């Protein structure tokens, strides 16, 4: 039998009550924050009821909240915190750059070194420009595609997230930039083909995450992604891979694993070594639109695009810490963790599964196959929140939506403890049990 709604509600209410009782200082800070920030918040994804955690200090792969509770950080700042909170090589690179002077308002050698590292890592990127976030990178890539093709429409996918101004969880968000968009179902090559045919000559680009991130780490089928390459070539549209998250998976991102060369690629998250950064790049003929020495060049402003801290931290991260060899081994480490969690859920009969690739994964409250976001519409979000609170009590921090992004700083012993904590949590609560045939 499925757990009754009352049983889940009661368990969740009790878990929330314990959370509140154990965090009086965090609760007080939330009250203060709400007097100056809408809902006490300036980054929506970090909010969760009854009130969000407030970090007092962070080190390596851990942090402590205002009330002194310590956690192993398995969220990794939604994949931006790949290097942990205090990697000495990253800290050293930032300090060295800052000691040479902050915000010079001119070209520096740091951006050149960083650009060389990006182009070396991702062969499809022949030229690159930097931004302050993945959101900016995607906005600029779309502008480049529209200018290059002379077309206006953009084809995206249901459930996609390309930044705060390009989100399609339930259609187009009211805060989205006003692009003329066509929304296709994910992992459906036939639907994409029909849309491109029905809108022939009007689609500038297809923008795709090779693994849907915010919708639950749902990988694109390799044949689906390869079909996008051939379909865009036939239609004259550009193919843009949003690898803001997935570029950390393996030595050359998912495009490297799949052997697909998109026309443009967007990057972000960990790229700046844990500091604000993003990038868009690709074919030299497209990126030449932004050559300021050329007549009629497209403008691309951004006061902090080439800031010395992000450029230095990012270069150190790509060339000294997250080398291609480390990227491969770390991705394998993430795959192993996902397989271990899958075994726990199977062996305990829990109503959960985990999807993802490499060090990016998401726990879902269902045992049915997941190929697109629509497959998750009937799942019970209360169970994921309950598991999130249970894991917090055990000293492990993941996203309330079940998302994990494994950092380099988390140790094997901490991962062993996490797997044990998951097994203990799902075994202890009858409401987690999957229905029996």
Per-10-residue mean pLDDT of the chain, 437 residues long, equals: 78 98 98 98 96 98 98 98 98 97 94 98 98 98 98 98 94 92 97 97 98 97 98 97 98 97 98 97 98 96 97 98 98 98 97 98 97 95 97 98 98 98 97 77
State the pTM of this model. 0.96
Q: Which of 272, 241, 270 is nearest to 257 (CA)?
A: 241
What pLDDT is attached to residue 5?
72
Q: Verify that 22 and 136 share a domain, yes or no.
A: no
Q: Verify that 245 and 276 share a domain, yes or no.
A: yes
What pLDDT is attached to residue 3?
63
Instruction: Output b/e per residue, 110-144; b: 16+ Cβ within 10 A.
Output: bbebbbebbeebbebbebbbbbbbbbbbbbbbbbb
Range of the domain at 298: 88-321
CA distance 147 to 85: 40
Q: Verify that 426 and 317 share a domain, yes or no.
A: no
Is there a contact between 150 and 138 (Cβ–Cβ < 8 Å)?
no
Q: Verify that 74 and 115 share a domain, yes or no.
A: no
Q: Which of 75, 84, 7 is nearest to 351 (CA)?
A: 7
Instruction: Output b/e per residue, 198-222; b: 16+ Cβ within 10 A.
Output: ebeeebbbbbbbbbbbbbbbbbbee
What pLDDT is attached to residue 185?
97
Output the CA angle 104-106-107, nearest 5 degrees.
120
Residue that terminates a domain, selected from 321, 352, 387: 321
What pLDDT is attached to residue 2?
58
For residue 338, count other CB atoms closer than 10 A to its CB. Answer: 23
CA distance 154 to 145: 9
What pLDDT is attached to residue 171?
81
What pLDDT is attached to residue 172?
84
Q: Verify that 311 and 388 share a domain, yes or no.
A: no
Q: Is 362 helix (H, G, I), strand (E, B) or coil?
A: strand
Q: Which sequence positions are flagged as catalytic?
A: 161, 242, 269
437 domain-assigned = no
Cα torsion 329, 331, 334, 339: sign:
negative
């Amino acid at each position: 039998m499925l757990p009754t709604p009352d049983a889940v509600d009661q368990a969740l209410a009790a878990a929330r009550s314990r959370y509140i009782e154990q965090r009086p200082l965090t609760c007080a800070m939330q009250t203060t924050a709400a007097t100056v920030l809408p809902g006490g918040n300036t980054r929506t994804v970090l909010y969760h009821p009854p009130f969000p955690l407030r970090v007092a200090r962070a080190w390596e792969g851990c942090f402590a909240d205002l009330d002194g509770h310590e956690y192993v950080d398995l969220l990794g700042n939604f994949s931006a915190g790949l290097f942990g909170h205090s990697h000495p090589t990253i800290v050293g690179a930032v300090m060295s750059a800052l000691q040479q002077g902050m915000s010079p308002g001119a070209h520096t050698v740091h951006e050149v070194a960083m650009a060389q590292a990006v182009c070396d890592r991702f062969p499809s990127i022949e030229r690159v420009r930097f931004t302050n976030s993945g959101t900016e990178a995607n906005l600029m890539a779309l502008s480049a595609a529209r200018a290059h093709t002379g077309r206006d429409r953009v084809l995206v996918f249901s459930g996609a997230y390309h930044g705060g101004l390009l989100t399609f969880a339930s259609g187009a968000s009211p805060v989205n930039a006003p692009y003329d968009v066509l929304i296709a179902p994910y992992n459906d090559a036939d639907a994409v083909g029909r849309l491109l045919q029905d809108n022939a000559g009007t689609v500038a680009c297809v923008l795709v995450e090779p693994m849907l991130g915010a919708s639950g780490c749902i990988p694109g089928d390799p044949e689906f992604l390869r079909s996008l390459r051939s379909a865009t070539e036939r239609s004259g549209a550009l193919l843009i891979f949003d690898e803001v998250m997935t570029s950390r998976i393996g030595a050359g991102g998912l495009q490297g694993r799949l052997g697909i060369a998109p026309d443009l690629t967007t990057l972000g998250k960990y790229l700046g070594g844990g500091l604000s950064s993003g990038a868009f790049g690709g074919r030299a003929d497209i990126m030449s639109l932004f050559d300021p020495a050329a007549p009629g060049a497209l403008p691309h402003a951004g006061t902090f695009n080439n800031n010395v801290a992000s450029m230095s931290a990012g270069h150190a991260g790509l060339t000294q810490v997250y080398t291609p060899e480390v990227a491969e081994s770390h991705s394998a480490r993430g795959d192993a963790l996902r397989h271990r969690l899958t075994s726990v859920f199977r062996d305990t009969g829990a109503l959960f599964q985990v999807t993802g690739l490499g060090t990016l994964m998401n726990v879902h409250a269902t045992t049915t196959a997941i190929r697109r976001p629509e497959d998750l519409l009937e799942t019970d979000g209360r169970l994921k929140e309950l598991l999130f609170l249970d894991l917090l009590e055990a000293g492990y921090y993941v996203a309330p939506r079940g998302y994990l992004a494994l950092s380099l700083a988390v140790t094997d012993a901490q991962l062993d403890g996490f797997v044990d904590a998951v097994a203990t949590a799902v075994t202890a609560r009858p409401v987690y049990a999957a229905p029996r045939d």
